[in-house]
Structure 1
Amino acid sequence: MPVSTTPLPETRHSLGAKRRRVRRIRLAGLTGSVATAAVLCTGLVTGVASGSAFGLPTAAGTPSALTTALDVVAPGQTATAKSDFTVTDASGDRVSVHAGSAVSRSTANTVATIALASGKHAAAEASGKVNASELKMSLASLAGYQKLDADTVLARADATQDAAADVTTATEKVEKRAAAKAAAARKAAQAAAAKAKQEKADAVRQAAANTPAGAKATAQALMSSQYGWGSDQFSCLVSLWTKESGWNYQAYNASGATGIPQALPGSKMASVSSDWATNATTQVIWGLGYISASYGTPCAAWAHSQSVNWY
């Protein structure tokens, strides 16, 4: 059966382990030389009566932690480190040896300072956005790092930086969602403002078109473009609708005749648009169509109105 080569998705645990490996690799460059010195110089332990090699203080006549962790050999012989040993000291610039590596006090302090700074920054950025309680606990555990042994400092610094990375990732996700929501709100607000502006402009234009002068201008333009009627026909139309309604789109007769062309009933003009009761342009369009279909020209309609007093 073929074996799948697709990598499995990384989990929070695997990401944390990867971050710790990277940090350990970076520390190796700082601490490798110290570890080497610790091993190569073990022969010096036999020449220090007080047992204070590498700055590890002991009581007079008492073997140091390092001498109890290493085979003591005579001068000129090869010193062999015991298979498992741990040497730590929390003060000064001492060496902490663990599982074959060595980390100086100053290096541990530097790592702790960096972890605290990045953790506090992550916690501040997360305020009011995500739960940073785990990160705050890690920061608290590292607060007194000067009194802790180097190994403990490194372990807590690792935990703090992992927690800071998790909080930063969560914060960035929340901020990204908030930014997208804000952008959508701005876009909606802009669209609403543009719509309101357009509606206001339309209302202004409609108000102008609803005046007698506006209605006449609309009629003259439509007569020429839609029917090919000239100024003589426009003059007849002006006379006709001045008599009928005074070019008032709100004109209403007791008989039910409505608007500029005095459509009877006014609802006939709905064949043009549903806004027939409030839009002079709709009334003009319907009236011109009615004149063309019923009389052929405005002058013919005007002649009929003069003859029988209606058209």
Structure 2
Amino acid sequence: MILTNKKQPSVSMISKINKSKKRQARSWVEALFQKRDCVTFIPSTIDKTRCSCGLSLTFHCGGGSASVQLDPDNPNEVWSSLKHTVVSATDAYGTIEFQGGPHPTKAQYVRLSHDTRPETILHLFNREWGLELPKLLITIQGGKANFEIQPKLKKVLRKGLLKAAKTTGAWVFTGGTNTGVTRQVGDALLLDSQRPGRVVSIGIAPWGIIENNHELIGHNKDVPYHSISSPRSKLAVLNNRHTYFLLVDDGTSGRYGAEIELRKKLEKYISIQKLHPSAHYSTPVVCLVIEGGTHTIRAVLEYVTDTPPVPVVICDGSGRAADLLAFTHR
């Protein structure tokens, strides 16, 4: 028998290794993910002191006149993200540390352009966040405004969602903010957040709708975060029951919409991924509808008319669009 005396790595050596890994992650993320900034001030038709991107003239591109471009030859030009914004390396990614609860939780996040390729995002999930392909993708659709669900129905929803997600190794896609249907799903994930092996819940939200999003700016940053919104704010905070966030940036501020196409393309891309190289089956997608309005009905139509069609489960009794769809189906 040959005995070897292997030298254990010192604290300083471990620290250097960790710093090296962080630098590698930083260069990799910044090389592949971008943000968008509006560089052309096109007055809003509603408020001439505000750009069509949502920012006021004061805050637009830092507020300096040199940073604002106007086109006098085309006063009726319609603002476009692709035409009137510039891209640069993302400046916001890392770990959110949710504060205020009895069991503090953490979530990974990244700010990314709305036209980021789905294969790049999936590479982030696999390589940087260490996620395996899901055996099922549950995508939640519903209202953005806050609403209440009957206690009995809420209990059934919580048990059903957790059971489906835990037993199948599913991912859950939501809108990510602490409002409306996402808040209800967050409540359903409350008990699960206190256990090991949490459900993979991925919030896909517009960067421009997040309140105090400047606090998230940083490279591989650890951010203490409170999911408490200002009473008068028209913006939203992130829901603290999620484990990952994609903050989608199209250069706009204070509005939803940037996330819609990216989310659809990502869901489609995941649905065609083979779960195993030799397997003939891929990840199934199921849409769960809770409450909602006209946008939810439109989303359901797109799911059921897709190729192949995506199954839609309606939470009857949750209100508005869900009840209307359930009634129509009957």
TM-score range, shorter chain: under 0.3
- Higher Rg of the two aligned structures: 1
TM-score normalised by structure 1 residue count? 0.20
Higher RCO (C-alpha 8 Å, min separation 6): 2
Q: Flag the structure with higher strand content.
A: 2
Q: TM-score, normalised by structure 2?
A: 0.19
Which structure dedicates a bigger proportion of its chain to helix?
1
